[in-house]
């Protein structure tokens, strides 16, 4: 027998009050298992039943997760936990889940088509089941059985009240668990990344830092956390304190900021830290609140330094071949504004070997450093100068679509390199031979374009050096700059 909502609402207030009083101690702070177990005991007691169960409906909508019985039921019911009990094979005890409304069976053994029950379940004489609906489908199924007298609308109302209250607490508990899980994950991320969160009330000079502060600054578990800006500044080297003050000035609170400062741990050791801050208005009253993080960036800087050294020529400070190849792979080279075309210069020094042979490698290294400096000054900021190795260099002229622009830079480079180089009491002269390849984009890759420029360089060398040759266009080569 099913009951309508109007009949359900006819429950006597005394029974409802009794149930509510027994549910009062239940809070979302209790573990979920304890919540549903205590709620089930209330359901059985307030309906004067001998049997009680609470089962979840799985997200698939087709199976029930069997698992919670009242303490009295477990005394003579040997049904076992089943995470996916099929609704289609369940007996009439699951009708409330199928129909989405309370169901009463006051003569269970003689009810037609009652079908089966979970193996080991105790016999039912009378049964009442109610669902908890959410989003139009049943999520929770609560049932009681074997009351001495028939179940009626009063029992339905009380059981529905208990079921709804338990489900509400379970949802709150699950939200709380997700929050705790997120908090634990965030704390773990903070520990791994060495990050401390902080909040500063600018007007009241009130600072709050989280527990990671003690770990970050090695101040010890018993040490007091800073509560004022001046106390935070004590952990920063004097030379950087004013910079943090400036970052937190009220008139600077229109945006956000980032600073890298040197901090000092409790044992006196210093470490680089990054302060990130953004500002928001106070919830009540006027003024601004600064919210941010401070992070130990020692490891990041070490990694960046290793990467920089791996991609930088130690002698000249220019990017090396590895850096050139990586930029090509990333597609982050050659473009200038909307213009994607570029010119690739392959440059080899003329008359450099005699400098090494006659004056030594130390003087030769100095010549390479001076040439590298001249090349940097000859190009625009968007262009790239690379030392490939030995006395070979490469230049990527960004955003170039015409032969005229490439040859203008080639002329400038040949003249710059050819200028006399003074080394203390010694003056030497070297020249530059250049092969140039023009490309519309990076699709050919660094290997293809450098090979093309190298072939043009060979032609420039064969013609006597101190000149440039454009790939497949020997007529554009220049006579010696002398």
Domain residue ranges in the chain: 5-177, 194-302, 312-476
| Nearest CA-CA partner of 157 in 45, 298, 375, 4 | 4
CA distance linking residue 476 with residue 347, whole number of Å: 16
CATH of range 312-476; options 3.30.379.10, 3.30.70.270, 3.40.50.300, 3.40.80.10? 3.30.70.270
Q: What pLDDT score does 481 carry?
A: 39
| Of 480 and 254, more confident | 254
Highest mean pLDDT among 14-23, 52-61, 432-441: 432-441
* Strand bridging mode 431-439 / 468-470: parallel
> Scanning the structure block, which residue is given the tokens 């609704």?
87
Counted residue by residue, the chain has a size of 482
Q: How confident is the model at residue 262 (pLDDT cuts 50, 70, 90)?
A: very high
Q: What pLDDT score does 10 carry?
A: 45
Task: Say which residues have a Cβ less than 8 Å from residue 22's Cβ, sequence separation at least 6.
Answer: 42, 45, 46
Q: Which fold has domain 5-177?
A: Beta-Lactamase (3.30.450)
- Could you read off the pLDDT of 198-253 as tens digits, one per residue? 999 988 899 999 888 988 898 876 788 999 999 999 999 999 999 998 888 766 55
Q: How confident is the model at residue 15 (pLDDT cuts 50, 70, 90)?
A: confident
Whether 145 contacts 127, CB under 8 Å: yes
| Of 140 and 305, more confident | 140
Query: Considering only 17-26, 30-39, 45-54, which range has the smallest mean pLDDT?
Result: 17-26
Whether 156 contacts 139, CB under 8 Å: no
- Could you read off the pLDDT of 317-359 as tens digits, one per residue? 999 999 999 999 888 887 777 678 899 999 999 999 999 999 9
pLDDT for residue 453 is more than 60: yes
Question: Mean of the pLDDT values across residues 118-142?
Answer: 86
CA distance linking residue 418 with residue 404, whole number of Å: 21
Question: Mean of the pLDDT values across residues 431-445?
Answer: 93
Q: How confident is the model at residue 117 (pLDDT cuts 50, 70, 90)?
A: confident
Q: Which fold has domain 194-302?
A: Beta-Lactamase (3.30.450)
Q: What pLDDT score does 448 carry?
A: 94
| Nearest CA-CA partner of 167 in 213, 192, 138, 132 | 132
Query: Considering only 8-17, 140-149, 413-422, 458-467, which range has the smallest mean pLDDT?
Result: 8-17
Q: What pLDDT score does 2 carry?
A: 53
pLDDT for residue 39 is more than 80: yes
Whether 82 contacts 116, CB under 8 Å: no
pTM of the model: 0.48
CA 288 to each of CA 202, 206, 259: distance values in angstroms, whole numbers, following the listed order: 6, 12, 19
CA distance linking residue 193 with residue 379, whole number of Å: 40
Q: In whole numbers, what is the pLDDT of the chain averaged over residues? A: 86
**Helix 13-23 / helix 32-46 crossing angle, nearest 10 deg:** 150
Q: How confident is the model at residue 33 (pLDDT cuts 50, 70, 90)?
A: confident
CA 16 from centroid of its chain's CA atoms: 49
Does this chain's domain 194-302 share its CATH topology with 312-476? no
């Amino acid at each position: 027998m099913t009951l309508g909502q109007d009949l359900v609402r006819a429950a006597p207030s005394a029974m409802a009050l009794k149930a509510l009083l027994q549910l009062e101690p239940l809070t979302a702070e209790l573990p979920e298992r304890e919540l549903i177990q205590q709620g089930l005991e209330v359901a059985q007691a307030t309906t004067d039943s001998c049997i009680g169960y609470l089962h979840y409906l799985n997200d698939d909508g087709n199976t029930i997760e069997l698992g919670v019985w009242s303490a009295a039921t477990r005394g003579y019911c040997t049904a076992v936990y089943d995470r996916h009990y099929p609704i289609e094979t369940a007996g009439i005890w699951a009708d409330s889940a199928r129909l989405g409304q309370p169901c009463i069976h006051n003569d269970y053994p003689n009810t037609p088509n009652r079908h089966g029950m979970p193996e080991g379940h105790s016999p039912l004489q009378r049964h009442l089941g109610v669902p908890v609906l959410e989003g139009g489908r049943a999520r929770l199924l609560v049932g009681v059985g074997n009351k001495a007298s028939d179940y009626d609308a009063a029992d339905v109302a009380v059981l529905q009240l208990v079921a709804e209250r338990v489900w509400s607490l379970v949802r709150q508990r699950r939200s709380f668990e997700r929050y705790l899980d997120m908090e634990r994950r965030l704390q773990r991320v903070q520990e791994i990344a060495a990050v401390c969160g902080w909040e500063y009330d600018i007007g009241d000079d009130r600072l709050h830092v989280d527990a990671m502060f003690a770990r970050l600054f090695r101040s010890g578990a018993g040490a007091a956390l800073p509560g004022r800006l001046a106390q935070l500044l004590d952990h920063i080297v004097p030379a950087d304190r004013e910079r943090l003050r400036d970052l937190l000035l009220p008139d600077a609170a229109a945006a956000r900021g980032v600073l890298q400062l040197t901090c000092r741990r409790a044992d006196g050791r210093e470490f680089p830290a990054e302060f990130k801050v953004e500002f928001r208005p106070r919830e009540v009253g006027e003024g601004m609140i600064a919210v941010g993080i401070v992070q130990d960036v020692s490891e990041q800087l070490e990694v960046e330094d290793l990467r920089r050294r791996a991609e930088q020529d130690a002698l000249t400070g220019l990017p090396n071949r590895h850096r050139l190849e990586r930029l090509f792979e990333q597609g982050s080279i050659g473009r200038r504004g909307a213009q994607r075309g570029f010119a690739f210069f392959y440059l080899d020094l003329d008359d450099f070997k005699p400098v090494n042979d006659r004056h030594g490698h130390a003087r030769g290294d100095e010549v390479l450093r001076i040439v590298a400096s001249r090349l940097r000054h000859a190009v625009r900021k968007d262009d790239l100068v690379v030392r490939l190795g030995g006395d070979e260099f490469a230049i990527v002229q960004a955003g170039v679509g015409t032969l005229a622009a490439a040859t203008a830079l080639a002329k400038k480079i040949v003249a710059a390199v050819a200028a006399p180089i003074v080394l203390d009491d010694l003056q030497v002269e070297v020249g530059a031979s250049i092969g140039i390849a023009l490309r519309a984009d990076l699709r050919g890759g660094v290997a293809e374009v450098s090979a093309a420029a190298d072939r043009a360089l060979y032609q420039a060398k064969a013609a006597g050096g101190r000149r440039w040759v454009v790939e497949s266009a020997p007529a554009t080569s220049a006579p010696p700059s002398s």
